[in-house]
Amino acid sequence: MKLISTLGACLTALFADSVTAIWNPIVPGWNPDASILRVKDDYYIATSSFEYYPGIPIYHSKDLANWTLKSHAFTRPEQLQLYGTPTSAGAWAPSLSYFKAKFWIASMTCWTYDPVARVWPRVFFASSADLVTWSDPVWADPWGIDPELFHDPVSGKTYLNLMAPNNNADRLWGLAGCEVSVSSGRCVGPYASLWNGTLPHIASARPEGPKTVYRGGYYYLIAAEGGTDELHRVTVARSKSPQGPFEAGPGNPLLYNGQWGFKNLTVQSTGHATLVEAADGKWYASFLARRNINGSREGFLVDAEWVDGWPVLNGGRPVLLSEQVGAEAAGARPVPEPWVDDFSGPELDKSWYQLRTPYTQNYKVFNGRLALRPNVFGLSDRDTPAAILRKQTSLNMTFSAELLGFKGSLGPRNRIGISSYLSEFQHQDIGLRGCVNATGMCLYAELRRNLATEYWQTPLNESSSGLSSGLTLHIRATPLKYELGYSLKGQKSPTYVKEIESRWQAFAPAGWFVFSGNSFGLFATGEGEPWPYNAPDVGFTKVTETLLLSMCSPTDVVYLCHGGTFCQGGPNGTRAVTAVKPWIDRGTIRRPRQPFQLCDLTKAQSGRYHNFASQELGIDGFQPTRLLSPIMARINQGCRKAEAVQDCLHRGIAMMFWGHMDGRGSDQWWSWQQCHAYFAANMSQEMMAWEASIVKNTYDSVSALDRWTAEMQRVNPGVFDDLERWRKEAEENDPAMFEDLDEVDEQDGLGGQ
């Protein structure tokens, strides 16, 4: 706690400001399809939950910046029956609305999409007066996905809009709808096609997730297109009638970070937007997006404005993690406190989930303990094991859980542990079990990658006397890998025994899909056999999650390239910038002199460099912040220039973009020299001022980070023991590396600070 407080103080000194800022993602962890709603001074967001139970989380905020989990729409088995539901099926893309003093949710449940077997998604909606107790679902007539209930303020009618086949011949999908009875679910008016989107030639990229807004005599239909990955985007059409015909907006796509080939940006897969008007008349849009380092789809927010009768999101610019929403220079991204669950309450914290609808109660909370009631199912089964899970909310964090002590012993099939869980095909576990081919109990780790499994075990004790308290299991997550470890009573640091690349916890294996994201879980299982009647009761006493502000990897350079705050505060962020340079020098392209090229290359190649560095250099220690801060400032300057060029490009004046905005023919392309000349003539003063400020800020940050380093050494004197070893090895492998640092010192005016 003291270390975290010290780091928080350091960040405050670096970036202090009293203005509240909105930072993305506003709802971290896998929370796709964020549907936002304002009722008076309160804001609410509902997101998809898929096969997780309880279903459809609802978050609350007063200021759009700070969100807390308020409730779930489906908490009773009779509301949402997800028995045996495959991964990422279940409840999709809810739409939240308010009508006649009631909250409404429209959603659908999908077991699988199989036209051959004629298994289709089923649409439903439910209502609540308080967002806590929800009605049983009303099942609707139309079938499709991503429904919304639009309550027309002009006519008072309610319309059900959704994505569905637009004809019976080719089964291409589009947006359709009808006037609907909210009491019966039946269409009470014509059911008709509304809009086929802007990509009608791509069957898998058709419009989905309709959200309707009425403004100024027009009905605006906001849609998601391009599938769910890097082509995902937000588009708009409008009509004078809620049932069309709709005309596409001239500024489509409204959001699309993949436009112009900018797939290196920190935010990708932007889609499923909902517009909301704040109490002060300003407009915003919630949407889903993915942080571009093995991340899941999370809840984001941007400004919205109306220009010539059409919405414009985020000023027409790409969405960047480094940019705040709704505030100017409002300070640093907040540093979350560690999250602790000691099970002291009478009920399980509402942020815990189970897999699918449970048949029976699989846990009990009592006297500061969580007791699990294991069954025959494990995490690799498509059922409901005795497991509870929480969403992973940061790319750099730890998850640890202390086991209950018990008397007796466990058999080889009796397991209790923790897991980094994505699906039944991809989960990485560490825990306790009866030893395989040995006596006593063993610590074990099991890595499951699709159909391949890697196993490890080591004896914990050779007796059957049980487990004393104090055994804690650990998962450490970083952008490039997950590590599994344990610690015994009295040990301050975990021993990590296995690791796996994080890509296995972010993307589905071939032939499958994962729409949810990674979670951390507690589990116990008989692995195909009932839990023995004479086996001990098992469970946990405490769970802790901590953000790792100082555990950065080379991949984190992408945050620095887009104005990040030293890898969210850790001095290893400086390591990330410098560590990539030797790889570039060894590559087919020599070290680029244009900083924005360096920005692109570091992002594109950092994953490959990480593997190289680990094997050849063994770079696992810290590097001196005094030495590396100048080059970080230099790269930040260059990357900021790159973002300005990208902004120039989005405004229609850049290389490889036709020049009709300046009166030239649309077939005439701008050269890089022309773009550079425009950039220099129009933005040079602004950039010079920015460069001056970054030099000063970097100089100030060196002193602050030095103070942080001193505190680190005081708390843990051995933390920098390997600095000399690292520098010696680095110089042996790349003698020019530190020469280049000296060169940067001369260029940035910091004098080697």
Paired tokens of 525 = 């299982």
**Are 294 and 506 within 8 A, CB to CB?**
yes
pLDDT at site 519: 97
pLDDT value of residue 551: 33
pLDDT at residue 330 in the model = 58
CA distance 121 to 112: 7
pTM, 2 dp:
0.74
Using alpha carbons only, what angle is made at residue 700 by residues 694 and 702, rounded to the nearest 5 degrees? 100
How much is the pLDDT for 549? 53
Residue 12 has pLDDT above 60, yes or no: no
450 falls in which pLDDT band (50, 70, 90)?
confident
What's the pLDDT at 738?
A: 45
Tokens 């989930």 belong to which residue?
Answer: 353
Q: Is 197 left (phi over 0), alpha (psi -120 to 50) or beta?
A: left
The rounded Cα 650 to chain-centroid distance in angstroms is: 25
As a whole number, mean pLDDT of residues 725-752 equals 45
Sheet of 42-46, strand order: 35-39, 42-46, 55-61, 68-74
> What pLDDT does residue 619 have?
28
pLDDT reading at 302 higher than 90: yes
How far apart CA 740 and CA 377 sit, in angstroms, is 57
pLDDT confidence bin for 454, thresholds 50/70/90: very high
Whether 105 has a pLDDT exceeding 90, the answer reads yes
For the ranges 14-28, 53-67, 403-417, 677-691, the lowest mean pLDDT is seen at 677-691
Is the predicted pLDDT of residue 386 greater than 80, yes or no? yes
- pLDDT value at 157 more than 50: yes
* Terminal C-alpha separation, the chain: 30
Check whether the bond before 385 is cis (ω within 30° of 0). Answer: no
pLDDT score recorded for residue 721 = 53
For 339-547, CATH number?
Answer: 2.60.120.200
Predicted pLDDT of residue 167 = 58
Task: Tell me which H or E stretch contains 305.
Answer: strand 297-307
Instruction: Indicate the Cα dihedral angle 67, 70, 75, 81, nearest 10°.
Output: -20
Q: How far apart are CA 94 and CA 104, in angstroms?
A: 10
Tell me the pLDDT band of 466, cut-offs 50, 70 and 90. Answer: confident
23-to-164, 300, 565 alpha-carbon distances in Å: 35, 9, 13
Per-residue model confidence (pLDDT) at position 710: 56
Give the range among 177-186, 285-294, 300-309, 735-744 with minimum mean pLDDT: 735-744
Instruction: Report, as an integer, the average pLDDT of 288-309.
Output: 91
Lowest mean pLDDT among 136-140, 220-224, 641-645: 641-645
| DSSP string for 389-444 | EEE---SSEEEEEEEPPBSS---TT-EEEEEEEEETTEEEEEEEEEPTTSSSEEEE
Report the distance separating Cα 40 and Cα 65, nearest Å: 17
Closest CA to 109 of 357, 421, 287: 357
C-beta neighbour count of 410 within 10 angstroms: 26
Q: By the 8 A CB rule, do 295 and 40 touch?
A: no
Poorest-pLDDT segment among 116-125, 247-256, 494-503, 631-640: 631-640
Highest mean pLDDT (candidates 34-48, 158-172, 441-455): 34-48
pLDDT for res 15: 33
Q: Give the residue numbers annotated as catalytic, written as ranges.
A: 33, 208
Contact 73, 128 (CB under 8 A): yes
Written as six digits, the tokens of 715 are: 């708390």
One-letter amino acid identity for 260? W
Residue 727 has pLDDT above 70, yes or no: no
Burial of 341: CB neighbours in 10 Å, binned 0-12, 13-18, 19+: buried
User: Tell me: the pLDDT tens digits for 314-352?
Assistant: 998 888 887 789 766 556 667 778 999 999 999 999 999
Please answer whether residues 485 and 494 qualify as being in contact, where contact means their C-beta atoms are separated by less than 8 angstroms.
yes
Residues 227 and 255: their CA atoms lie apart, in Å, by 14
Question: Which of 171-185, 283-297, 689-703 bottoms out in mean pLDDT, i.e. has the lowest?
Answer: 689-703
* 298 within 8 A of 28, measured Cβ to Cβ: yes
Higher-pLDDT residue of 624, 487: 487
**CATH class label, 30-316:** mainly beta
- Average pLDDT in the 18-24 region? 72
Domain layout of the chain by residue ranges: 30-316, 339-547, 554-748
**Per-residue pLDDT at 464 exceeds 70:** no
Q: What is the mean pLDDT of residues 289-300?
A: 87
Give pLDDT tens digits for 110-141: 887 665 666 778 999 999 999 999 999 999 99
Which DSSP string do the residues of 336-403 spell out, in sequence order? PPPEEE---SSS--TT-BEES--SS--EEEETTEEEE---S--TTSSS--EEEEEE---SSEEEEEEE
d(CA 205, CA 233): 10
Closest CA to 370 of 391, 394, 390, 387: 387
The pLDDT value recorded for residue 702 is 43
d(CA 142, CA 186): 8
pLDDT at residue 310, rounded to an integer: 98
pLDDT digits (tens, 9 = 90+) for 206-221: 899 999 999 999 999 9
Query: 136-145, 254-263, 271-280: which range is least confident on average?
Result: 254-263
The rounded Cα 309 to chain-centroid distance in angstroms is: 33
Look at residue 14 in the predicted model and tell me its pLDDT.
32
Nearest-angstrom CA–CA distance, 713 and 710? 5
Helix-strand-coil split of the chain, %, nearest 5: 25, 35, 45
Q: What is the full DSSP assignment across 594-629?
A: SHHHHHHHHHHHHHHHHHHIIIII---S---HHHHH
Q: Helix, strand, or coil here: 36?
A: strand
Question: pLDDT confidence of 252, banded at 50, 70, 90?
Answer: very high
Over 80: is that where the pLDDT of 556 sits? no
Where is 89: in which H helix or E strand? none
The mean per-residue pLDDT over the stretch 699-713 comes to 49
Pairwise CA distance, residues 507 & 515, whole Å:
9
- Written in H, E and C, the secondary structure of 209-269 is EEEEEEECCEEEEEEEECCCCCCCEEEEEEECCCCCCCEECCCCCCECCCHHHCCCCCEEE
Mean pLDDT for 718-722 is 50
Question: How many angstroms from the chain centroid is the CA of residue 737?
Answer: 34
Give the span between the Cα atoms of 45 and 177, in whole angstroms. Answer: 23
CA distance 549 to 391: 19
Average pLDDT taken over every residue of the chain: 75
Residue 56 pLDDT exceeds 80: yes
- What confidence score (pLDDT) does residue 513 get? 73
Q: Which residue is it, tokens 């030495």?
A: 627
Contacts of 100 (CB under 8 A, 6+ apart): none
Higher-confidence position of 34 and 697:
34
**Across 5-153, where does the E strand assignment appear?**
35-39, 42-46, 52-53, 55-61, 68-74, 90-99, 102-110, 122-128, 138-139, 145-151
| AA identity, residue 467 | L
Residue 373, burial from CB neighbour count under 10 angstroms (0-12, 13-18, 19+): middle
Q: Which residues contact 636 (CB under 8 A, 6 or more apart)?
A: 560, 561, 563, 694, 698
Sequence-distant (≥ 6) Cβ neighbours of residue 549 within 8 angstroms? 4, 7, 335, 396, 567, 568, 569, 570
* Most confident segment among 55-69, 314-328, 511-525, 573-587: 55-69
pLDDT on residue 480: 79
pLDDT grade for 570, boundaries at 50, 70 and 90? very low
Query: Across residues 666-687, what is the average pLDDT?
Result: 45
Instruction: Name the maximum alpha-carbon separation found in the chain.
Output: 85
Cβ-in-10-Å burial (0-12, 13-18, 19+) of 87 comes to buried
Compute CA distances 501 → 186, 313, 517, 581, 615, whole Å.
Answer: 49, 35, 15, 22, 15
